[in-house]
Amino acid sequence: MGVGCKLTGGVWFSYYDNLEIHGSGPGKIDIDHMVPLAEVHDSGGYSWTPERRKRYANDLGAESTLVAVSARSNRQKSDRDPADWMPIPEARCRYIGEWVVTKLRWDLSVDQAEKDALLDYASECPNSKLHYEPAE
């Protein structure tokens, strides 16, 4: 999309809450940072250069870093990690996989509460395989 272009329609699927979102009106969809910017900061991003922060904030190199979701679910999630927020049960395996891949891709740390929650939820996701490429 070029400067001045606007999305005028379409159908988006928010897997966080299993919603199909029609159209593109303000307030319907958000692009969520899988690992919120505040969490990135707390997980090691505080030492990043401004250029690396910008690359994370606009990462189009991995499908899981930026996710189109309903505005409502993104507001509910806010800047919380898996110890404090999870999507609907049917989406949890995908969500924790994408969370872990994003953390690995960007070489971010995991605190104990987050780790405990990830391990607990992962027990419900047998045979899940995660693939990622480190961010440059």
Rounded CA separation 50/56 (Å): 10
For 43-87, the DSSP string reads TTGGGS-HHHHHHHHT--SSTTTEEEEEHHHHHHHTT--TTT---
Interior CA angle at 85 toward 7 and 50, to 5°?
Answer: 60
Q: Which residues of the chain have pLDDT under 50?
A: none
pTM summary value = 0.91
For 8-31, how does the pLDDT look when each residue is reduced to its tens digit (9 = 90+)? Answer: 778 889 999 999 988 766 678 899
β-sheet bridge partners, residue 12: 21
